[in-house]
């Protein structure tokens, strides 16, 4: 088992280059199934989840190459049956359902597992596919979907916690090859959905309203191959910004999209962090005194759930009381007990974490439970005295490209080691 050893107490200084966005590239890779022609995707991060998607596409019969940040896919002859063991490894794999249904009129895809952040149902994905005319049944852990011909329709895709990101992506992909016009109300506005639609449009799809809650898709007969460059990962950029502030460092975050990060930048400004925007770069340094903040996670353009854990790690270091409320996922506080092992004082009241900040942290062995919880532990470890050992770092490798090397380049004392363990 690989672990990360962090000797805390150094300030992060220098430049870090942001990789392509994990949550944009996974649906974009799935979208290549919509055409027989070759697609080229650039700025693809070397991540565990991307490699899983490569294997899923291959298992469906596509020819896939992944070299030096570029993925090429030729899905000439494909079958509609997703490999159970591969698909259940990550939630993002559900977005092969829409393209398979759109292209082949049938799909058999295993239900992706729930995970430590909540139940994560797929009812809205299925509602959208049914609205397009698909028959759907679930049996023995698989979703079986079929349609003689998908037909455009009007649908409302909002759920209990607002729109669904991958659900919107899935339905848009299926609708591109359906007959007639589809209108999706309460569509997700996330930049990752916009990036997917940009790719689909370059394949010949007719989509409008992208980035707004009402998306219109005019079905076309065929899509063609295209080349696309994936947007920078806004969550990785936010994570490095928070790490810079937490370690009292000064970091220039290069190749990011500050316009995708406004809610995070605003919250950090409120906390007293100094952030300067300069085109596609952000320079982050801690102000004279940090202040506690209250934050509630929301769909885009609100504060992202994927940055909640990292902000909590910063608030642990900030004297005063912060209230962090999670409104997207019902169980996304797995980092709280682990931060507690390092000395944090956090209580959970329903969907809110009440952070009594200002405690000094001291290194300890901790367990990474999910991707963003792991990132919070890295930030806390960088601030703690002594050594923090983060176990199960495969979670980090699912979503952060070479995070240990990037932190080392900024002066962080971070080592990847192999340890015996369960
Ligand atoms: N929901 C339903 N029914 C559905 C789908 C979603 O009730 O059919 C609920 C969810 O349970 C949740 C809310 O709707 O309460 C929003 O979930 P959403 O569908 O938007 O999440 P997702 O598309 O499965 C993506 C990202 C997540 C990110 C969320 C929210 C990918 C691969 N995953 O998940 O990323 O947290 O959007 O922004 O794109 C991460 O990167 O660490 C991560 C978990």
List the domain boundaries for the chain.
2-19+232-418, 22-222
SS3 state of residue 305: helix
Phi, psi dihedrals of residue 102, rounded to the nearest 5°? -65, -45
R_g over Cα of the chain: 21
Query: How confident is the model over 384-398, as a mean pLDDT?
Result: 94
Question: Any idea which of 138-142, 224-228, 269-273, 396-400 has the lowest mean pLDDT?
Answer: 138-142
Task: Return the residue whose CA atom lies nearest to atom 26 of ligand 1.
Answer: 23
Its pTM stands at: 0.98
Top CATH class of 22-222 equals alpha beta
> How far, in Å, CA of 366 to CA of 382, rounded?
13
Q: What pLDDT is attached to residue 113?
A: 65
Choosing from 21, 23, 121 the residue with most ligand 1 atoms within 8 A of its CB, the one to mutate for a pocket test is 23
Task: Return the residue whose CA atom lies nearest to atom 17 of ligand 1.
Answer: 164
Q: What pLDDT is attached to residue 120?
A: 85
- Higher-pLDDT residue of 222, 118: 222
In the predicted structure, residue 401 carries a pLDDT above the cut 60? yes
Query: How confident is the model over 255-278, as a mean pLDDT?
Result: 98
Task: Return the residue whose CA atom lies nearest to atom 25 of ligand 1.
Answer: 165
- Label residue 241 left, alpha or beta by phi (over 0 means left) and psi (-120 to 50 means alpha): alpha
In the predicted structure, residue 422 carries a pLDDT above the cut 80? no
Handedness of CA 230, 235, 238, 243 (dihedral sign): negative
Choosing from 29, 113, 120, 124 the residue with most ligand 1 atoms within 8 A of its CB, the one to mutate for a pocket test is 120
In the predicted structure, residue 199 carries a pLDDT above the cut 80? yes
Strand partners for 72: 40, 65
Nearest to 31 by CA among 175, 247, 187: 175
| Element housing 67 (H / E) | strand 63-67
Listed in sequence order, the residues at least 6 apart from 19 whose beta carbon sits closer than 8 Å to its beta carbon are 43, 45, 232, 233, 236, 401
Ligand 1 centroid distance, CA of 381 (Å):
27
| Element housing 309 (H / E) | helix 308-316
Q: pLDDT category, 115, cuts 50, 70, 90?
A: low
Query: Are 2-19+232-418 and 22-222 the same fold in CATH?
Result: yes
Ligand 1 centroid distance, CA of 159 (Å):
11
- State yes or no: is 189 an active-site residue: no
User: What tokens appear for 321 in the block?
Assistant: 């009381």
Residue with tokens 């895709």: 157
> How far, in Å, CA of 133 to CA of 215, rounded?
18
Task: Return the residue whose CA atom lies nearest to atom 24 of ligand 1.
Answer: 166
Query: How confident is the model over 333-346, as a mean pLDDT?
Result: 97
Q: pLDDT category, 118, cuts 50, 70, 90?
A: confident
Fold of 2-19+232-418: UDP-n-acetylglucosamine1-carboxyvinyl-transferase; Chain (3.65.10)
Q: What pLDDT is attached to residue 111?
A: 85
């Amino acid at each position: 088992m690989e672990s990360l050893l962090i000797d805390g107490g150094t300030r992060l200084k220098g430049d870090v280059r942001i990789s392509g966005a994990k949550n944009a590239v996974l649906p974009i890779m799935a979208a290549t199934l919509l055409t027989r022609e070759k697609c080229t995707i650039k700025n693809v991060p070397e991540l565990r989840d991307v490699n899983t998607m490569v294997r899923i596409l291959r298992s469906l019969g596509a020819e896939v190459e992944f070299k030096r940040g570029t993925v090429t896919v030729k899905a000439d002859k494909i079958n509609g049956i997703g490999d159970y063991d591969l698909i259940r490894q990550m939630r993002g794999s559900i977005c092969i359902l829409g393209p398979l249904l759109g292209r082949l009129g049938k799909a058999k895809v295993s239900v992706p597992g729930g995970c430590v952040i909540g139940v994560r149902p797929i009812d809205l994905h299925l509602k959208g596919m049914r609205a397009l005319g698909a028959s759907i049944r679930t049996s023995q852990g698989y979703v079986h979907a079929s349609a003689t011909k998908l037909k455009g329709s009007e649908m409302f895709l909002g759920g209990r916690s607002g729109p669904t990101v991958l659900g919107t992506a899935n339905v848009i992909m299926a609708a591109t090859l359906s007959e007639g016009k589809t209108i999706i109300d309460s569509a997700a506005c996330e930049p990752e959905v916009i990036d997917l639609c940009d790719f689909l449009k370059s394949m010949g799809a007719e989509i409008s309203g992208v980035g707004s809650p009402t998306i219109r898709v005019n079905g076309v007969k065929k899509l063609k191959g295209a080349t696309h460059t994936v947007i920078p990962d806004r969550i990785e950029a936010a994570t490095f910004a928070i790490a810079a502030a937490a370690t009292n460092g000064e970091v220039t975050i290069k190749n990011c999209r500050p316009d995708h990060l406004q809610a995070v930048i605003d919250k950090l400004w409120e906390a007293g962090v100094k952030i300067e925007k300069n085109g596609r770069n952000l320079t982050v340094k801690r102000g004279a005194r940090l202040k506690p903040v209250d934050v509630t996670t929301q769909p885009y353009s609100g504060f992202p759930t994927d940055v909640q854990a990292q902000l909590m790690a910063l608030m642990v270091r900030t004297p005063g009381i912060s209230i962090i409320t999670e409104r997207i996922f019902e169980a996304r506080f797995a980092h709280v007990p682990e931060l507690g092992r390092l000395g944090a004082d956090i209580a959970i009241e329903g969907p809110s974490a009440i952070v009594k900040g200002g405690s000094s942290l001291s290194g300890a062995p901790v367990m990474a439970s999910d991707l963003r919880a792991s990132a919070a532990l890295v930030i806390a470890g960088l601030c703690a005295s002594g050594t923090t050992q983060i176990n199960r770092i495969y979670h980090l490798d699912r979503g952060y490209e070479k995070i240990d090397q990037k932190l080392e380049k900024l002066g962080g004392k971070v080592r990847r080691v192999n340890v015996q363990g369960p």
